Amino acid sequence: QVQLVESGGGLVQPGGSLRLSCAASGSILKINTQRWYRQPPGKQRELVAEISSTGSTTYVESVKGRFTISRDNAKNTVYLQMNSLKFEDTAVYYCNADIVRSFLVQTNTYWGQGTQVAVSS
């Protein structure tokens, strides 16, 4: 069993910062691409940031220059550093990852259960 657990969400003032963490645990052979999604209330889920197995990163235009995705492979953890937060960043943030489990060759995508980020003055 593979589990992804997010942490670090909360209430923050506009202009503030938060760092989200997503730790993967279980029988993991290899983690490939890791991602952060978000879903604002009443809106579609969108991909926020992505980091590949080679370390290359991609961001949605609205967070470029403010958010940074990074990873710690030794801890099977991906982070999302969020700076200069805006009201429109309010959403439930979900991590996901493409993971190869031990003793398998198939890659599956796993999701965390989400962590709430609320930006409010």
Contact 38, 45 (CB under 8 A): yes
Using alpha carbons only, give the angle 56, 103, 47 rounded to the nearest 5 degrees: 30
pLDDT tens per residue across span 94-109: 999 999 988 878 899 9
- pLDDT computed for residue 88 by the predictor: 96
Paired with 21 in beta bridges are 7, 79
Q: Exposed, middle or buried, 100 (CB in 10 Å: 0-12/13-18/19+)? A: middle
What digits encode the pLDDT tens for the residues 41-77?
A: 999 999 999 999 999 999 999 999 999 999 999 999 9
pLDDT tens per residue, range 10-20: 999 999 999 99
* pLDDT classification of 111: cutoffs 50, 70, 90: very high
Give the DSSP H or E segment for 81.
Answer: strand 77-82
pLDDT of 104: 77
The pLDDT of residue 21 is above 90? yes
- Residue 71: name the closest of 98, 105, 47 by CA: 98
Residue 68, pLDDT score: 98
Whole-angstrom Cα Rg for the chain: 14
